[in-house]
């Protein structure tokens, strides 16, 4: 199903601020700074694959739940202090890997024994504490990232903690399970559209 940009932003607001969201809420009730952050990421190519992009302003653009999850990851990384330009580089470089993993995840975290996590380690953040070790996978921009990791079990989490040890402080962990679940809960409140506004 596809949705309009306003619905996309409302669903993201529901995921990030569930206590202040209601199904009847309109976009004008979402804080402007939040709307601006989402729009800035969309304008930079995050939140939609290149083959689906409308190509110009004013042209109708449809969005899907995976687009919202990608934007949710971007907002989470921004909340953790990562600069917007580096978030854009990261998500565009790993877009296919992340979206492939999302398709294998459950759409609800209700009753789950352990949530799904995305572990992001920008190389620049860890240079001072990890001068030796694995070389990062380079992205197309100036900032390189170590291979991203998906964690979906307690055992995987413990193994990851043993692997990275103290430099874990340089990693940013995004909780994917609840993000995906909240977005899947929010979108059914909106009528899907044949055409969505960019």
pLDDT in tens, the chain (198 residues): 788 899 999 999 999 988 877 778 888 999 999 999 999 999 999 999 888 887 666 667 889 999 999 999 999 999 988 889 889 988 998 999 999 999 999 888 777 778 889 988 876 554 433 444 454 444 445 556 777 889 988 888 888 776 655 444 477 889 999 999 999 888 887 776 655 444
What residues have CB less than 8 Å from 63, skipping those under 6 apart?
2, 3, 4, 5, 7, 8, 47, 48, 196
Q: Could you state, in order of their start, the residue ranges of all structural domains in the chain? A: 5-189
Give me the count of residues in the chain. Answer: 198
């Amino acid at each position: 199903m596809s949705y309009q940009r306003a619905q996309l932003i409302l669903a993201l607001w529901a995921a990030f601020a569930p206590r202040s969201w209601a199904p009847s809420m309109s976009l004008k009730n979402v804080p402007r700074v939040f709307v601006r952050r989402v729009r800035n990421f969309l304008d930079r190519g995050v939140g939609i694959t290149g083959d689906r992009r409308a190509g110009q302003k004013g042209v109708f653009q449809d969005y899907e739940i995976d687009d919202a999850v990608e934007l949710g990851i971007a907002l989470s990384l921004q909340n953790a202090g990562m600069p917007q330009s580096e978030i854009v580089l990261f998500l565009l470089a790993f877009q296919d890997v992340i979206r492939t993993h999302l398709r294998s995840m459950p759409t609800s975290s209700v009753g789950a024994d352990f949530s799904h996590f995305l572990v992001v380690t920008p190389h620049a953040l860890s240079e001072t504490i990890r001068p030796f070790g694995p070389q990062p996978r380079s992205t197309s921009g100036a900032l390189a990232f170590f291979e991203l990791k998906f964690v979906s079990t307690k055992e995987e989490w413990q193994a990851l903690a043993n692997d990275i040890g103290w430099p874990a402080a340089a990693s940013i962990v995004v909780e994917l399970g609840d993000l995906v679940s909240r977005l899947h809960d929010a979108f059914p409140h909106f009528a899907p559209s044949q055409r969505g506004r960019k």
